Amino acid sequence: MNKILNMVLKRLGLGLLTLVIVSMLIFIGVEALPGDITEAILGQQATEETVAAFRKELNLDLPAHVRYSQWLYGIVQGDFGMSLANKQPIGEMIGWRLSNTLFLAVTAACICVPLSLILGILSALYRNTPFDRIVSMTSLSAISFPEFFVAYILIALLSVQFNIFPSMVTLDEDMSFFQKIYEVFLPCLTLSIVVMAHMMRMTRAAIINVLSSPYIEMALLKGIDRRRIIVEHAFPNSLSPVINVIVLNLAYLIVGVVVVEVVFVYPGLGQLMVDSVAKRDLPVVQSCGIIFATTYIFLNLTADILSRISNPRLLYSN
C-alpha cells in the first residue's frame, strides 16, 4: 500500500511540475503572437494616449513575469479573468462550453470503448481469419484518415445525401437528453471511428502477445476452451497496455476535439478557443489552453497509475 501511495504522490508531483512548465509555454506562446492586441481591439485610428490607457487597463504595461504570476495566481484561485471581446467573466463563458465538450467526449467514449474491446478480443480469438482481416483493414483505414476528412464524408452522406442528421450542431440547455444525442451524433461518430480503431488494434496486439506465454500454452494443452482462455486469462493479463491506450484516447476525446468542433460548429471549448484566437481574445485563449493541458496531464497520470497498479511487475520495478 505504501508503494502505491508513494508512486501516486511521485506522479502527482511530476504532473504539477509539468503543468507549471506548460502554463509558462502557453503564456509565452500567446505573448509571442504577432501584432498589438490593443491596436487590434481599438483599431488603427486610435490615438497613442488611448492605446496607452487601454494597455494600462489590461496590465500590459507591467513586465511579462509579473503578468504571468498574476495570471497563474488567478487560475489557482479559479479566477480566469475577463474576456476582452465581450467583457464577460471567462469562467461563465467556459462553464457551458466545457460541459458540452465533456458531453461529446463521454458520449463517444460510451460507444467506442466497449466496441473496441469487443472487436479487439474477437480479432484475437479469430486471428488470421477473414473476420480478423476485415476488421484490421477497416481499422487501418480509419486511423489513416484525418478527423476532418471523416467528418466531411459523414456530412456528405448522412446530412446532404440522406438528410438524416444535422451538419451543424445546435445545443440548448432546455433540450432533452435524446435531443442532444441526436444533435451530437455526427461529431460523436467521427470521434468514435478514429479512436475506436486505435484502441481495438492495441487490445488485439496486447492479447496476442499474452497468448504466446507458456501458461497459455499449458492451458491449451489441458484442453481448456480457447474463448475461456482469452476472456479469463489472456485479457486480464493484458490490461496494463489496454488501460493505458484507453485512458490516453479518452484524453484525446477531450483535448483533440478542436478540429471536429470547428467542422460541425459545435459549441464546445475547442470552438471557443478558435473563435478567441480570431478575435485576439488572449485571456480566453490562455484559459482554454490551460484547461486542455490540465485535462491531458491528469488523464496521462491516471493512465500511468492504473497501468502500474494493474501490473505488479511495473509497480515494483522501481
Report the b/e string of 25-63 with b at 16+ CB within 10 A. ebbeebeeeeeebbeebbeeeeeeeebeebbeebebeee
The answer to whether the CB of 239 falls within 8 A of the CB of 310 is yes
Res 16: pLDDT: 83
Task: Tell me phi and psi for residue 281, to 5 degrees.
Answer: -85, 80
Q: Could you give the CA distance from residue 255 to residue 270 in angstroms, rounded to a whole number?
A: 8
* Orientation of helix 282-310 relative to helix 239-255, angle to 10°: 170
Query: What CATH number has the domain spanning 98-315?
Result: 1.10.3720.10
pLDDT of 260 reads 86
Q: At what angle do helices 90-125 and 130-144 cross, to 10 degrees?
A: 150
pLDDT in tens, the chain (318 residues): 567 777 778 878 887 888 888 888 888 877 776 666 676 666 666 677 777 777 777 777 777 788 888 888 888 887 887 887 777 888 888 888 888 888 888 888 888 888 888 888 888 878 888 888 888 888 888 878 888 888 888 899 888 888 888 888 888 777 888 888 888 889 888 888 888 888 888 888 888 887 777 877 787 777 777 778 777 777 777 777 777 778 878 887 877 778 888 888 888 888 888 888 777 777 888 888 888 888 888 888 887 777 777 665 655 555
DSSP 60: T
Residues comprising the chain, all counted:
318
Entry pTM: 0.79
**Domain segments of the chain: what residues?**
98-315
In order, the DSSP letters of 103-156 are HHHHHHHHHHHHHHHHHHHHHHHTTTSHHHHHHHHHHHHHHHS-HHHHHHHHII
Residue 191 corresponds to which cell in the numbers above? 470521434
